[in-house]
Amino acid sequence: MALLSSYHIMIVSQYFNKIEDFVVLELVCKKCRFNLDKFHFNPIRLTDKTIRYFPNIETLHLWDIHDENFGNGFLVKSEFGFFNDINDDKDIVVKKTFYDVIMWFNVDYETYLKNKNFNYKFKNVTYNKNDREQFGNTIPPIVSSISDICFERCYDLCDIVIPPNVIRIGKCCFRYCQNLRSITISSSVVSIGNECFRDCAHLSEVVIPLSVTSINSSCFEQCSSLRNIVIPPSVVLISEFCFYECGGMNCIDIPSGVSSISDNCFFMCSNLSNITIPYCVESIGKSCFSRCSSLNEMIIPSSVTSIGEYCFSYCINLKHVDVSSSVTTISNHCFDGCSNLINIKIGPSVRSYGDYSFRGCGNLSNITIHSKVSSIGYNCFCLCNSLSTITIPSSVTSIGDDFIFYKTRFDFFLTWLFCRLYFINFCVTENGLSAFVIIWYNLCKYYHVLNRTVNNYDNTLPVIKDNGICFFK
């Protein structure tokens, strides 16, 4: 086993949190003695009592604005906007001069300028809205973060470069900058806040650096001119409303590390025609691709187990869909209003079809309901005027009201895979304005038979009972 030298012991002790740990270390062995004498900076916060343990300290580190500074006062802004020395009205017990005073707490850019000529080094300088109004739209190189709403509604901002020291861009930072056309984000940025570029109507291109791991909610919402965006492979989260109503975007590559596409992420991206969902994605959120009117094909990989409500609703040019073999539910309104949907392949793992899931799919002519399906929701195939044949398996135990009939051509033929009592078996044929419906008598309760309306006419259906079967006309 290798032994630590006195130098390496000193390196390890830098990570101690309490002065007591340093004192105990001195007592371990001769090699650990005088360890504190080796420090020329303080690795922990100091007080007027603990500073005596570091006799050779030359550089003072302050992690909080209220840490003891030993007479090295600096200017801070009061709540009224005036700058005062932080040591005003403060008794200094131990006074000591340092070669450098390094401050790790956050200060605004104006505070940094007020203390610039002293031996102070500020490691976290934030550029806020007040700074921007005083010093302009160019972000100084010393800045490490841009505050929330810093450039919000800055209508004269046309282009901006994020300097290489910036690691954080705050919430709503460039929101409503409707004349912003170009932004260069440095590779140091690791965090971009919610609604950061929301409604930047003329922003056309964005390159997100590799250092970013998540795109937060509504980040590019309503960026109607956004056409090209590069999402690096480091991104693992694309949050809700991220590209909501980005009508100019026609394609996007989702990184392979993303496991979930959140609610409303690509809602009403009307020009989005090409998108590939990687095999790492496990869930697609509510209304994720709703009203993407240029989307014509969608292949959902086998990794996806959940598709949210309204996910592809009103994708009016969607023609071909291949649903993952792992999906267990076709959710409510999932393909509602997909009027040009011609072909859909649904895996055998699906167990239920939600309400209105295929309503208004007027060009859908065929669909296979697999043997594991147990329920079909309300108005599931309403207005599917081209649907000529549908087979209901014996596993189905629940069918919602207006499953097919409302405003359809009544040319459906439904059969059971296994005809047994308490399982529905009926057919619908059209003859002028009359429709004949045959249902097992034991299941008449599912259809409110005494006042059933099977088309858009408010006529009451006469009921004929014969040998356990109900006939409706």
Averaged pLDDT, 284-300: 96
- Spatial CA neighbour of 260 closest among 241, 275, 281, 234: 281
Q: How far apart are CA 131 and CA 137, in angstroms?
A: 9
DSSP β-ladder status, 463-466 and 428-431: unpaired
State yes or no: pLDDT of 443 exceeds 50.
no
- Spatial CA neighbour of 455 closest among 471, 438, 432, 439: 432
209 vs 184, 193, 220, CA distance in Å? 10, 14, 15
Q: How far apart are CA 68 and CA 62, in angstroms?
A: 8
Delineate the domains of the chain, giving CATH numbers in brackets: 6-105+114-119 (no CATH), 128-249 (3.80.10.10)
Record the tokens describing residue 127, joined without a space.
């550029």
Q: What is the pLDDT of residues 386-416, one digit of tens each?
A: 887 777 888 888 887 655 544 333 333 333 3
Range of lowest pLDDT (65-69, 121-125, 459-463): 459-463
Q: How far apart are CA 284 and CA 225, in angstroms?
A: 25
| pLDDT interval class at 426 (50, 70, 90) | very low
| pLDDT interval class at 431 (50, 70, 90) | very low
Are the beta carbons of 96 and 70 closer than 8 angstroms?
yes
pTM of the model: 0.81
Residue 456 CB contacts under 8 Å (≥ 6 apart), including other chains: 406, 407
In single-letter form, the type of residue at position 335 comes to F
Task: Name the DSSP class of 346.
Answer: -
Are the beta carbons of 185 and 163 closer than 8 angstroms?
no
Buried b vs exposed e over 58-81: b needs ≥16 C-beta within 10 Å?
Answer: eebbbeeeebbbbebbbbbeeeee
Record the tokens describing residue 244, joined without a space.
């909501």
State yes or no: pLDDT of 198 exceeds 80.
yes
Distinct helix (H) and strand (E) counts, the chain: 4, 32
